[in-house]
Amino acid sequence: MNLVIDVGNTSIKFGVFDLEVIKWKTTSNKHGFLQTLDEISKTFPSIENCIISSVANLSKEHLSKLEERFNVLRLNHQTKVPFINRYATPQTLGIDRIALMSAASFQHKNKNVLVIDAGTCITYDFINSENEYLGGAISPGIAMRYKSLHTFTDKLPLLEKAHPNSYIGNNTANAIHSGIVKAVLFEIDGYIAEYKKENENLTVILTGGDTHFLRDSIKNDIFANSNFLLEGLNHILEYNKHSCLEK
Ligand SMILES: Nc1ncnc2c1ncn2[C@@H]1O[C@H](COP(=O)(O)OP(=O)(O)O)[C@@H](O)[C@H]1O
Ligand SMILES: CC(C)(COP(=O)(O)O)[C@@H](O)C(=O)NCCC(=O)O
Ligand SMILES: [K+]
């Protein structure tokens, strides 16, 4: 069994895989990392291998606790991945985006695929039917947009995210919901339209913490898969098992 860990800027996602199948998953914050690890070790004593991807700083203590228990692959820019990376600065590419493109490459071979990860940031990543990763976009995530309107003004309240009734906000709260949620939806459908113009038979995957909140309001056909990044990490672990994790 494999333990797969994705450390994002908001939360840490843990997944337990038996070959290609996810058996269990949970989420924690930084403070819950060690307790979650204890629970997983107790519940799944047959886990041997682990992969961890992080876009945030990882504490030495957390990493050494993992290494005490499992063969650990820490995903980095040198790790062998199944796609050709055409990003002009591969050494600055987010580690999470490498995992997403690995999932796209493994699961949608020889397809044009756009992956949208609605997390702390919203990332757009495109891999073409030649298995080449070309790049994409990074925009502020939904929670970040609500926080920034509140932080950088005197008058705007900090609201819980909500879908607006109309794109015409008739009061402050509705104007904010429209300016954030409706704008994110315009952005997503706008990008999909742009990619579709130039790429036949585009497959679009939506993932990240806001998947469920957004999925039914996107006009284009998409596949919503909250586990896509974890699946990508599991693919990379299996792909590298023999070369990197031999004891
Ligand atoms: N319980 C929650 N706590 C924080 N953010 C949440 C929660 N549930 C959904 N979200 C949404 O998910 C987003 C964070 O997604 P996530 O995939 O966890 O981010 P990351 O991978 O960057 O850590 C936030 O923009 C927020 O709108
Ligand atoms: C853009 C990101 C902050 C997204 O992080 P997330 O929303 O998943 O927490 C992360 O992929 C990152 O730190 N990227 C580095 C810059 C780049 O990808 O070019
Ligand atoms: K993201």
Q: What is the pLDDT of residue 246?
A: 57
pLDDT profile of the chain (247 residues), mean per 10: 98 97 97 97 97 95 96 97 98 98 98 98 98 98 99 98 97 98 98 97 98 98 98 98 70
Nearest ligand, measured from the Cα of 142: 1
Q: What is the pLDDT of residue 243?
A: 78
Q: Is the dihedral of CA 103, 108, 113, 118 positive or negative?
A: negative
**Does the predicted interface ipTM exceed a cut of 0.85?**
yes
Q: Is 9 in the pocket of ligand 2 (CB under 6 A)?
A: yes
Domain 2-75 belongs to what topology? Answer: Nucleotidyltransferase; domain 5 (3.30.420)
| Residue 112, phi then psi, degrees to nearest 5 | -85, 120
Q: Known catalytic residue: 96? A: yes
Q: Is 210 in the pocket of ligand 1 (CB under 6 A)?
A: yes
Cβ(35)–Cβ(29) below 8 Å: no
How far is residue 40's CA from residue 24's CA, in Å, rounded to a whole number?
Answer: 9
Residues 6+ apart with CB under 8 A from 71: 48, 49, 50, 245, 247
Q: How distant, in Å, are the alpha carbons of 6, 140, 148, 154 from that of 169?
A: 37, 21, 19, 20
Angle between helix axes 183-198 and 142-151 (nearest 10 degrees) is 130
CATH class of 84-231: alpha beta
What is the residue extent of each domain of the chain?
A: 2-75, 84-231
